[in-house]
Structure 1
Amino acid sequence: MQIGEVAARTELSLRSLRHWEEVGLLRPSGRTEGGFRLYTEADVERILVIRRMKPLGFTLEQMSAAMRDIEVLRDLDGDLDGHDDRASAARSRLEALVGDAVERRSTLERQLAMADEFIDQLHQQLA
């Protein structure tokens, strides 16, 4: 599928998708003869992982590292002979990322609670 369809399916802008490609976070699986980007369902799944990391405030570098580790585990799935160190290191980094994501989510929950309190206070003032 082309970039416009991917943008619509992922609710991301064309600009974001192109930027992620420019910084090496994402790359389309192919191109048409005319040079248009082509994406697969697996590409869309990767994009959705990145999109889910974005609101948690992860940097492009952190997202890129996470995607590399996810790919290592996917590529080695069922074929761990001689790759235990790579898989173990990737798994360890992703486990740390989970902990970081949980902390970031908690921070967002506290911020939302404060926002709700503020909105309630405004409603009380207007009543």
Structure 2
Amino acid sequence: MDASDRVRPMQIGELAERTGLSIRTLRHYDEIGLLRPSARSEGGFRLYTADDESRLLLIRRMKPLGYSLEQMGELLAVVDGLASRPDDAALRTRFDEIRREAAERRDGLRRQLDAADEFLAQLAAR
């Protein structure tokens, strides 16, 4: 992505292509308030910025860890809150809890992957 891409707004199709998510998913995220477009064109088309893309990639990275849409929304609210109030102790505490929980979820996925590898090794040995 060059500097002009960072300032040029994207329509929903381009954002979907760049992030590997469907247009339908992006529309749903807009409907539930998880990811609102930064602007709308004169014709009413959703317009997204590089910051919106970064937010969407954060959302996409939560999916494999099993976060619900509600949990994603809470995390984004905490992140947004810390961006505007970095010294808020309650938000910082909640953010740290979320990070610990994400690490636990990741570790659980690692254990599942290890079990899958063991299973494949057993099949290969037969």
Quickly name the TM-score band, shorter chain normalised.
0.7 to 0.9
Count of residues paired in the alignment: 117
Counterpart of 1:68?
A: 77
Task: Show structure 2 runs of 5+ residues with no match.
Answer: 1-9
CA deviation string 1:103-127 (max 9, x = no partner):
10111000000111111111222xx
Q: What is the CA–CA distance in structure 2 between the aligned matches of 1:49 and 1:16, rounded to whole Å?
A: 14
Aligned residue type for 2:121: D
CA deviation string 1:2-25 (max 9, x = no partner):
111111111111111111111111
CA deviation string 1:17-73 (max 9, x = no partner):
111111111100011111111001111111111111111011111110110111111
TM-score scaled by length of structure 2: 0.87
Is it true that 1:47 corresponds to 2:56 in the alignment? yes
TM-score scaled by length of structure 1: 0.86
Task: Show structure 1 runs of 5+ residues with no match.
Answer: 78-83
Counterpart of 1:123?
A: 124
**Which contiguous aligned blocks of 4+ residues in structure 1 show a shift greater than 4 angstroms?**
none
| Secondary structure at 1:64 match in 2 | helix
Aligned residue type for 1:109: R
Q: What is the CA–CA distance in structure 2 between the aligned matches of 1:16 and 1:95, rounded to whole Å?
A: 28
Aligned residue type for 1:118: F
